[in-house]
Amino acid sequence: MWRALQGVFSRDLALAWRQRSDVLSTLVFFVMVVSLFPLGLGPEPATLRAVAPGVLWVAAMLASMLSLARLFAGDHADGTLEQLLLAPQPLTYLVLAKITAHWVASGLPLTLLAPLLGVQFDMSGADIAILTASLAVGTPVLSLVGAVGAALTVGLRGAGVLVPLLVLPLCIPVLIFGTGAVDAAASGAGPGPHFSILGAMLGLALAGAPLASAAALRISLD
């Protein structure tokens, strides 16, 4: 089981490295969206600090949507998906390995890049640390929930448009509590409750999203 999971994870990371332009386009989109807001809102530090958590979280959520449609599309095109369905290992765990690789290739770079972009909004070091931590907990939820939408639309025309339409409404709670953690820390209330809810969302997504994605893949390929 472990060797199969490691093989799927390593394969997806190798494919992401070979198709670096897709990863770079996600990062460039994230940087461009975030960098446009200080230019449009003006140089007032108080205004920039107030909107920074929402801007960074919305940009990260939209950027993560760009690569979701390709999560299973390549495997469906070359026949790998059928081989995964026929593998002796449970499809749920293989899908979880693919989702983990997707987060490492897309969500993790966004999380690591966020502190540098937070400086544009005159955020304090403590607020940047809370923002980074909220992204580290929240972006895996985006990948897990997005995998369900990608599995439902695999093989369909216009999957790149359908996946965000299906996934974005489900990701709004992550956006709310991710930005709320930074706002609570800035106001002195403490981000603990928001992180608790984000952690609960991550736990529920880990428990349910791979199962739902595996079922959706079987339905899509029937």
pLDDT in tens, the chain (222 residues): 778 888 888 888 888 888 777 788 889 999 999 988 888 887 788 888 889 999 999 999 999 888 887 788 777 777 777 888 888 888 899 999 999 999 998 889 999 999 999 888 888 888 999 999 999 999 999 999 999 988 888 877 766 678 888 888 899 999 999 999 998 888 878 888 999 999 999 999 999 999 999 998 888 776
- What residue spans define the domains of the chain? 2-221
The overall pTM is greater than 0.85: yes
Structure-token pair, residue 203: 């736990």
Structure-token pair, residue 97: 């390995």
